[in-house]
Structure 1
Amino acid sequence: MRKLACLFGLGMLFLLAQTAAAQDTPKVDAFLGYSYVRANPATSGAPNFNLHGGSASLAYNVSNSLGLVADFGGYHVNKIGGFPVDSAVYTYLFGPRLSYRRSESKITPYAQILFGGTHLGRGALQAGSDNTFAMTVGGGLDANPTRHIGLRLGQVEYLMTRFKEAAPNRQTQNNLRFSTGIVFRW
């Protein structure tokens, strides 16, 4: 317990030191871009498939290194394993982001963990829709050519969803999500 308290105290000192140096840190980062999801169904023998779409996120930077993120994405698939489908997946995720910002650097690496939900909307051939838990763990790199506009060079995340599948007791999908686009800061 003592070790945990010491680690917590050191972490807080690190965040406070980063806050003191945060005068050049923008308060808000807004991202808009393209997203790709490589879906991996839990059902044995079901093929992996690709979804393409877009995502947007808003991060409020509490300090130089800590931000609070709201992330929204929409993805579409029209064929799985050669069979035509018309489905859309939407994600809505929230959580903390840790960034490593240095005033002299034009690159900002970050890591984040987000929790929330996902919605599966099925087209005319399938019946109904589904809402379930989702989470991501990952990170990325932002290039900062100017103070107010940046480029998200890449954001790579493990995306876990919990849709019920045809096979009994199979409901965890281990997916990969990649995003890239423009970051606006103010």
Structure 2
Amino acid sequence: MRSLLALSLLSIASVNLMAQAQPSHEIALDYTYLHTNAPPGGCGCFSMNGGSGSYAYHLGPQFATVFEVGAVHASKVDASGLDLTLTSFLLGPRFFYRRPQARFVPYAQVLLGAVRATGGLAPANSGGAASSTVFGSTLGGGVEFNLNRKITLRLAQVDYFVTTFPNKADNHQNNLRFTAGAALHFGKR
């Protein structure tokens, strides 16, 4: 009985030490590749490249709130010769699966927010200008590798990225987003 009590106290203490050892803030810069299907009817798929930056506030070792700003661009899309830039502003929770002393940390996230399209392929807004801002969301996850307490490499992140631009069909675009980069951790909880 005494050993069970000691083991329970040790488990609680190790969880508390893990929580204290984690930095509270994270700033990340990432490369982003987006496979999209913006033109309606058929696939009409094309690729976009860009980057993103994010800020995460860690509420505990398993949970963070993330704010992400990203932009991807494609020029001379298909035979149209038109360009498109998508800029996203997303916010939501990220859940980590952390194990003691593990360097690889998988995570999952759901981000919601706004996506703005500009360029020749962008749907026109009510004023006739070639730009539009709509709802967007991502659902996905990835794997990070902890180099040390301050620097993390985001080895791979894959997201299902939905946008709702008007397209004279279903006003819905299914996109696949791949991200990789690095994060700097600082502060203490």
**TM bucket by the smaller chain?**
0.7 to 0.9
* Distance verdict in 2 for CA 1:124–1:102, change over 3 Å: closer
Q: Which has the larger radius of gyration?
A: 2
Once residues 163 and 43 of structure 2 are traced to their aligned partners in structure 1, the CA distance between those partners, rounded to angstroms, is: 16
> In the alignment, what sits opposite 2:179?
179
Matched, 1:165 2:162: no
Cα RMSD of the aligned pairs, angstroms, is 2.0
Aligned residue for 1:62, secondary structure, equals: strand
> In the alignment, what sits opposite 1:22?
19
Aligned residue for 1:181, secondary structure, equals: strand
Instruction: Answer whether contact 1:42 1:172 (CA < 8 A) is retained.
Output: no
> In the alignment, what sits opposite 1:45?
42
The residue type equivalent to 1:48 in the other structure is C
> What TM-score results when the alignment is normalised by the length of structure 2?
0.82
| Match among 142, 151, 154 for residue 152 of structure 1 | 154
> In the alignment, what sits opposite 1:76?
73
Once residues 92 and 98 of structure 2 are traced to their aligned partners in structure 1, the CA distance between those partners, rounded to angstroms, is: 19
> What TM-score results when the alignment is normalised by the length of structure 1?
0.84
| Match among 123, 136, 140 for residue 134 of structure 1 | 136
Once residues 39 and 45 of structure 2 are traced to their aligned partners in structure 1, the CA distance between those partners, rounded to angstroms, is: 10
Instruction: Answer whether contact 1:40 1:47 (CA < 8 A) is retained.
Output: yes
> In the alignment, what sits opposite 1:109?
106
State the Cα distance separating 1:82 from its structure 2 match: 2.5
C-alpha deviations, 1:110-147, integer Å up to 9, x for none? 00001001000114998420000000000011111111
Once residues 182 and 164 of structure 2 are traced to their aligned partners in structure 1, the CA distance between those partners, rounded to angstroms, is: 30
Identity %: 36
The residue type equivalent to 2:83 in the other structure is D
State the Cα distance separating 1:26 from its structure 2 match: 1.4
* Distance verdict in 2 for CA 1:36–1:22, change over 3 Å: same
Q: Which runs of 5+ in 2 are unaligned?
A: 1-13
State the Cα distance separating 1:91 from its structure 2 match: 0.4
| Match among 118, 123, 134 for residue 121 of structure 1 | 118
State the Cα distance separating 1:80 from its structure 2 match: 2.0
